[in-house]
Chains A and B, each alone.
Chain A
Amino acid sequence: MYARALTWWTILRICLEERLVYRGDFALGTLMRFLPIVTQIFLWAAVFAAVRAGEGGSDATIAGYHYQDFVAYYLLTMVSRAFSSMPGLASGIARQIREGEIKKYLIQPIDMISFMLLSRVAHKLVYYGVALGPFALVFFLLRSYFPGWPEPEIFLAFVASLIMSFLLGFFLEATIGMIGFWFLEVSSLLFVYMLFSFFFSGHMFPLDMLPQPWSTVVMLIPLQYLAYFPAAVFLGKITGDALVFGLLVQLGWLIAMIVACRLAYHFGTRRYSGYGG
């Protein structure tokens, strides 16, 4: 057991070091993450200006969000996306399968899924380690856009949903990567996932904006938990029974994806014919 933990710690440490080698790369990347929402915020400011002008200057809302809520929303989705985005996970797994690198996991006494999960934890830790500064600064400067700190229970729910969104994002993409055991080219499926994820996870806009039938579709798929759900929880858009229900559904999806991933790995490695190498 101790030996196991030691191995995991070594893996974590090596992954962390590997991330830090290209430091020019690293420092730039952290600052860059904030740029896309700047444009969005200005776009929405212009939209709200037009709406207000149209309604004779009264305070305007879109789908229940004031302009300030939009800004807060985007900042919060940055947090939830920081947890749930898994760049290169699915394509990396598919590539390793295609090129035969998977063999090393089958030969060595490492569980591939755990190894990858740890590697992702390492990546996220490093990111937060360095990004915490800029993040905190930005949030502090823009604190007037936030409706204030939520109640402790809501905050707890927020944290829980963030952790679950990390795991959910991981297992979702890992499962897609596992498809590589059956189909060589995973990239089309991955693209569809990315496309839907971009528009229907709440990354681009609060999902409350969608009309029917889209809003029903979006509620039925797990993508909302990758960006929208934690942000909406923090902003107090989801409370009471709906909140509990939402968290439970998120948990349900998470368990389903863990199972799917494990099954895919199990059957995939069985089927694996040592392609590539």
Chain B
Amino acid sequence: MSIIEIEGLTKSYQVYQKKEGLLASFSGLFRRDYREVQAVRGIDLSVEQGEFVAFLGPNGAGKTTTLKLLSGVITPSGGTARVMGHVPWKRENEYRRRFALVMGQKNQLWWDLPAQESFLLHQQIYRIDPEQFRRTRDELVDLLAVRRLLGQPVRELSLGERMKMELIAALLHSPDVLFLDEPTIGLDVVAQHNIQKFLKHYQNLRNITILLTSHYMKDIAALCRRVVIIAQGQIIYDGSLSGIVDRFSSHKVLTLLFADSKMPSDLARFGDVLEVAEPKVTLKVDRHVIADVLSSILANYTLQDVSVEDPPLEEVIADVFSLSYNEVTGQEAAQVVTSPSNQ
């Protein structure tokens, strides 16, 4: 049985609509307009134990809402989910003892006290055996190299240091499932890298299941083999990171270095010209016709160097985000890929 099973999970909200103007504000006292926002629209997902899965998606896509549903913080409008056999929104203590949620830039540690006091409180609440607690804490503290900061009030720590403390607090009770909501947001590059290293190491060590949402490609590329793209409340892709390019990218980037300073004058008929810096040319070419383009160029000109690359991952993903679910499934059927950037 999968450790996480989600079927048809839905969550919608009623949002109060405010109209412009003073009179409208007054009438708002007596009658309000509501708009229904569907944050999550039927998600189906299975995750096996030990997987490290990334949720990718534009802002407002429903990634965080999904994590909150799986944590039992909010209750769904429809659908089912089971994590380790428990229904999250029942908020059973047995379930809560076995997972952890960490949210980037949100602090649960006592602000004015040193982190170690919050850790002790955690020990009491999770009823962690003192010996076990000491061992786990020391292990985590050393892994993240924050020993000398334990006695400092949390408010005096930098953002990166605070995030590390949050991670430690979350892992003190050795959860089997870890949910991470943008853990590295707002951190500098070094701090991000440290946290990535730590997560990779920890996951290898413990073989726990981790769901991670992030905007940073580096996080995802470094840590996750499986990527789930969520847009407008639905899953539009579930597979490997490299698979995204194969699936969604419609073209490749062709860089040509011409010898003898002889260049074609009508480059535009091969594809979009991205950059011309004689004798180097960069073109965006539809991937179906790459072979033909290359052969016709080679037939008439001499090339000193050629490179055929995928477009940057960020670009592809940004394009994907702007697609709707129907467009994506429509793409699959038609095998013809259209993206806004290809006009």
Q: Direct A–B touching in the complex (beta carbon < 8 Å)?
A: yes
> Can you give 18 A-B contacts (C-beta < 8 A)?
A13-B22, A16-B22, A16-B25, A17-B22, A17-B25, A20-B25, A20-B26, A20-B28, A20-B29, A21-B18, A21-B25, A21-B28, A23-B28, A23-B29, A23-B32, A26-B29, A27-B29, A130-B29
> Nearest 4 CB-CB pairs, A to B?
A20-B25, A17-B25, A23-B29, A13-B22
Q: Which residues from A are CB-within-8-Å of B26?
A: 20
Q: In the complex, which residue of chain B has the Cβ closest to the Cβ of A17? A: B25
CB distance from B224 to the nearest CB of A (A): 38
Give Cα A13–Cα B21 distance, bound, in whole angstroms: 8
Q: Which residues from A are CB-within-8-Å of B29?
A: 20, 23, 26-27, 130
Per-residue CB contact flags for chain A residues 26-70 toward chain B (1 = under 8 Å, else 0) read 110000000000000000000000000000000000000000000
B residues 1-29 near A (Cβ < 8 Å) are 18, 22, 25-26, 28-29
CB distance from B24 to the nearest CB of A (A): 9
Give Cα A23–Cα B33 distance, bound, in whole angstroms: 13
CB distance from B20 to the nearest CB of A (A): 9
Q: Which residues from A are CB-within-8-Å of B32?
A: 23
Give Cα A57–Cα B40 distance, bound, in whole angstroms: 74
Q: Which residues from B are CB-within-8-Å of A130?
A: 29
Q: In the complex, which residue of chain A has the Cβ closest to the Cβ of B27? A: A20
Interface size on A, residues (CB 8 A): 9
Q: In the complex, which residue of chain B has the Cβ closest to the Cβ of A27? A: B29
Q: Which residues from B are CB-within-8-Å of A17?
A: 22, 25
CB distance from B54 to the nearest CB of A (A): 36
Q: In the complex, which residue of chain A has the Cβ closest to the Cβ of B26? A: A20
Q: In the complex, which residue of chain A has the Cβ closest to the Cβ of B29? A: A23
- Place the interface of chain B in its size category: under 10
Q: In the complex, which residue of chain B has the Cβ closest to the Cβ of A18? A: B25
CB distance from A43 to the nearest CB of B (A): 34
Give Cα A60–Cα B98 distance, bound, in whole angstroms: 72
Q: Which residues from A are CB-within-8-Å of B28?
A: 20-21, 23
* Interface residue SS majority, chain B: loop
Chain B residues near A (Cβ < 8 Å): 18, 22, 25-26, 28-29, 32
A residues 104-139 near B (Cβ < 8 Å) are 130
Give Cα A26–Cα B29 distance, bound, in whole angstroms: 9
CB distance from A122 to the nearest CB of B (A): 11
- The listed residue with most A CB atoms (<10 A of its CB), out of B18, B25, B28, B29, is B25
Contacts A17-B25, A23-B28, A130-B29 supplied; 15 other A-B pairs, CB < 8 Å: A13-B22, A16-B22, A16-B25, A17-B22, A20-B25, A20-B26, A20-B28, A20-B29, A21-B18, A21-B25, A21-B28, A23-B29, A23-B32, A26-B29, A27-B29
Give Cα A47–Cα B44 distance, bound, in whole angstroms: 71
Give Cα A149–Cα B26 distance, bound, in whole angstroms: 33
Q: Which residues from B are CB-within-8-Å of A23?
A: 28-29, 32
CB distance from B32 to the nearest CB of A (A): 8
Q: Which residues from B are CB-within-8-Å of A26?
A: 29
Q: Which residues from B are CB-within-8-Å of A20?
A: 25-26, 28-29
Give Cα A20–Cα B26 distance, bound, in whole angstroms: 7
Give Cα A16–Cα B26 distance, bound, in whole angstroms: 10
Q: In the complex, which residue of chain A has the Cβ closest to the Cβ of B30? A: A23
CB distance from A192 to the nearest CB of B (A): 26
Q: Which residues from A are CB-within-8-Å of B18?
A: 21
Q: Which residues from A are CB-within-8-Å of B25?
A: 16-17, 20-21
CB distance from A264 to the nearest CB of B (A): 31
CB distance from A227 to the nearest CB of B (A): 29
Q: Which residues from A are CB-within-8-Å of B22?
A: 13, 16-17
A residues 1-28 near B (Cβ < 8 Å) are 13, 16-17, 20-21, 23, 26-27
Give Cα A130–Cα B28 distance, bound, in whole angstroms: 13
CB distance from B138 to the nearest CB of A (A): 38
Q: In the complex, which residue of chain A has the Cβ closest to the Cβ of B24? A: A17
Give Cα A13–Cα B23 distance, bound, in whole angstroms: 10
Per-residue CB contact flags for chain A residues 185-211 toward chain B (1 = under 8 Å, else 0) read 000000000000000000000000000
Q: In the complex, which residue of chain B has the Cβ closest to the Cβ of A26? A: B29
Q: In the complex, which residue of chain A has the Cβ closest to the Cβ of B20? A: A17
A residues 90-109 near B (Cβ < 8 Å) are none
Give Cα A13–Cα B24 distance, bound, in whole angstroms: 12
Q: In the complex, which residue of chain B has the Cβ closest to the Cβ of A129? A: B26
CB distance from A276 to the nearest CB of B (A): 15
Q: Which residues from B are CB-within-8-Å of A21?
A: 18, 25, 28
CB distance from A10 to the nearest CB of B (A): 11
Give Cα A17–Cα B32 distance, bound, in whole angstroms: 14
Give Cα A20–Cα B29 distance, bound, in whole angstroms: 7
